[in-house]
Amino acid sequence: ETGVTQSPTHLIKTRGQQVTLRCSSQSGHNTVSWYQQALGQGPQFIFQYYREEENGRGNFPPRFSGLQFPNYSSELNVNALELDDSALYLCASSFWTGGRFYGYTFGSGTRLTVV
Amino acid sequence: DAKTTQPPSMDCAEGRAANLPCNHSTISGNEYVYWYRQIHSQGPQYIIHGLKNNETNEMASLIITEDRKSSTLILPHATLRDTAVYYCILRSGGSNYKLTFGKGTLLTVNP
Q: What is the pLDDT of residues A28-54, one digit of tens each?
A: 788 899 999 999 899 999 999 988 899
Those residues whose C-beta lies under 8 Å from the C-beta of residue B65, and which sit 6 or more positions away, are: B71
Tell me the chain B residues in contact with residue A104 when contact means C-beta distances shorter than 8 Å. Answer: 44, 46, 97, 99
Residue A60 near residue A80 (C-beta atoms within 8 A): no
Pairing of strands A110-114, A10-13: parallel
**Angle at the Cα of B110 from the Cα atoms of A87 and B70, rounded to 5 degrees:** 70
pLDDT tens for A55-83 read 889 999 999 999 999 888 999 999 999 99
Question: B39 to chain A, minimum CA–CA distance in Å?
Answer: 10
Tell me, yes or no, if B96 comes closer than 8 A to chain A by beta carbon: yes
Quote the pLDDT of residue A98: 63
Quote the pLDDT of residue B95: 61
CA dihedral A13, A15, A20, A23 (to 10 degrees): 70
User: Of the candidates A62, A58, A69, which has an alpha carbon nearest to the alpha carbon of residue A93?
Assistant: A69
Q: What is the CA radius of gyration of chain A?
A: 14
Spans of chain B below 70 pLDDT:
1-2, 93-96
For residue B37, report the phi and psi dihedrals to the nearest 5 degrees. -135, 155
Question: A88 to chain B, minimum CA–CA distance in Å?
Answer: 9
